[in-house]
C-alpha cells in the first residue's frame, strides 16, 4: 500500500513534469507569445492575477454561480428522481421533458438563457439545465437497481416502510447519486465558464477570459484557464473525499 501510493505520486509528478516541458518546448518552437506563452510567462501572469485586488471577487462569483446551479440541480434531481423512481406514471410523465433538456445543445441553452434572463443569472440557469438530467438519471438508476432480495427480506421481516426508505433505499441510491454529482461537478465548471463568456456578467472567469482574448493577452487566457482547472480539481477532490467518507463499508 505505502510503496504503491508513493509510486503513484512519483508517476503523476513525472507526467506533469513532461507536460510542462512539452508545453515549454512547443512555446519556444512557435516563438510567439501571442499564440502560445511559455509556462514561465503563464506563471508570472498567474502571480500578477492572484495578487491583484480584483481576482478573488471574480473567482468567488464564478464558484458561487457554479455551486448555486449545482445545489439546485442536486435538490431538483434528487426530489424528481425519487418521485420518478417510485412511480412509473411520474417517470413517463417526466421522460419527454428530461429528454428534451438532455438533448438540447449547450450553446442553444446558453443563447436562449441570454435572451430570457439577466446576465448574472444566465450561467446559473445553464448549469442547472445541464446538470439536472445527470443527477436525475442517476437517482432513477439507483432506485431501479435496488436489490430486490434485500427488499423482500425487509418486507418479510415486517420492517417499517419509512425505515426501508431511509435504511435500504437511500444507502442503495447514494453511490449512484455521488457518481452523478461527481460527473455533474466536472461538467459544471466547463459549462459555467462557457455561459459567462457569452453572457458577460460583470464578474466571472468567463468574462475575464473573453476580455483577455480581446486584448490579445494569451498569457492571461492561459492563467485564467489554469485557475479554472484548479477550481475543477479542488471540487472533484472534495466530492471524492465525501464519497470515501460515506462509503466505509465496502
Can you give the binding site for another protein, defined by CB under 8 A?
149-150, 152-154, 156-160, 163, 167-168, 171, 248-250
Collapsing DSSP to helix, strand or coil, 31 comes out as: coil
In the complex, least distance from residue 79 CB atom to another protein, rounded to whole angstroms: 22
CA distance 179 to 176: 5
> Within 10 Å of residue 124's Cβ, how many Cβ atoms?
23
Q: Are 127 and 192 in contact (CB under 8 A)?
A: yes
- Judged by beta carbon, residue 47 or residue 170, the one nearer another protein is 170
Cell triple for 155: 418486507
Collapsing DSSP to helix, strand or coil, 157 comes out as: coil
- Burial code (b: 16+ CB inside 10 Å, e: under 16) for 106-121 equals eeebbbebbeeeebeb
Closest CA to 139 of 94, 181, 167, 88: 181
In the complex, least distance from residue 29 CB atom to another protein, rounded to whole angstroms: 53
> Within 10 Å of residue 67's Cβ, how many Cβ atoms?
17
In the complex, least distance from residue 136 CB atom to another protein, rounded to whole angstroms: 23
- Judged by beta carbon, residue 115 or residue 156, the one nearer another protein is 156
- Burial code (b: 16+ CB inside 10 Å, e: under 16) for 150-168 equals eeeebeeeeeeeeebeeeb
In the complex, least distance from residue 184 CB atom to another protein, rounded to whole angstroms: 23
In the complex, least distance from residue 154 CB atom to another protein, rounded to whole angstroms: 7
Amino acid at each position: 500500500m505505502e510503496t504503491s501510493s508513493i509510486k503513484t505520486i512519483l508517476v503523476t509528478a513525472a507526467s506533469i513534469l513532461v507536460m510542462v516541458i512539452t508545453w515549454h518546448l512547443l512555446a519556444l518552437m512557435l516563438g510567439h507569445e501571442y499564440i502560445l506563452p511559455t509556462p514561465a510567462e503563464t506563471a508570472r501572469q498567474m502571480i500578477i492575477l492572484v495578487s491583484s485586488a480584483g481576482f478573488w471577487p471574480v473567482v468567488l462569483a464564478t464558484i458561487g454561480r457554479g455551486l448555486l446551479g449545482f445545489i439546485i440541480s442536486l435538490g431538483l434531481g434528487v426530489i424528481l428522481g425519487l418521485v420518478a423512481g417510485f412511480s412509473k406514471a411520474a417517470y413517463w410523465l417526466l421522460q419527454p421533458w428530461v429528454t428534451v433538456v438532455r438533448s438540447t445543445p449547450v450553446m442553444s441553452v446558453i443563447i436562449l438563457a441570454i435572451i430570457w434572463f439577466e446576465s448574472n443569472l444566465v450561467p446559473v440557469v445553464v448549469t442547472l439545465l445541464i446538470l439536472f438530467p445527470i443527477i436525475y438519471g442517476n437517482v432513477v438508476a439507483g432506485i431501479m437497481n435496488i436489490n430486490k432480495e434485500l427488499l423482500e427480506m425487509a418486507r418479510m421481516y415486517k420492517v417499517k416502510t419509512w425505515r426501508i426508505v431511509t435504511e435500504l433505499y437511500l444507502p442503495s441510491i447514494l453511490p449512484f447519486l455521488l457518481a452523478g454529482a461527481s460527473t455533474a461537478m466536472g461538467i459544471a465548471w466547463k459549462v459555467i465558464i462557457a455561459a459567462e463568456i457569452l453572457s458577460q456578467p460583470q464578474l466571472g472567469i468567463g468574462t475575464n477570459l473573453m476580455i483577455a482574448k480581446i486584448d490579445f493577452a494569451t498569457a492571461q487566457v492561459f492563467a485564467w484557464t489554469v485557475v479554472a482547472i484548479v477550481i475543477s480539481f479542488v471540487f472533484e477532490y472534495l466530492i471524492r473525499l465525501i464519497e470515501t467518507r460515506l462509503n466505509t463499508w465496502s
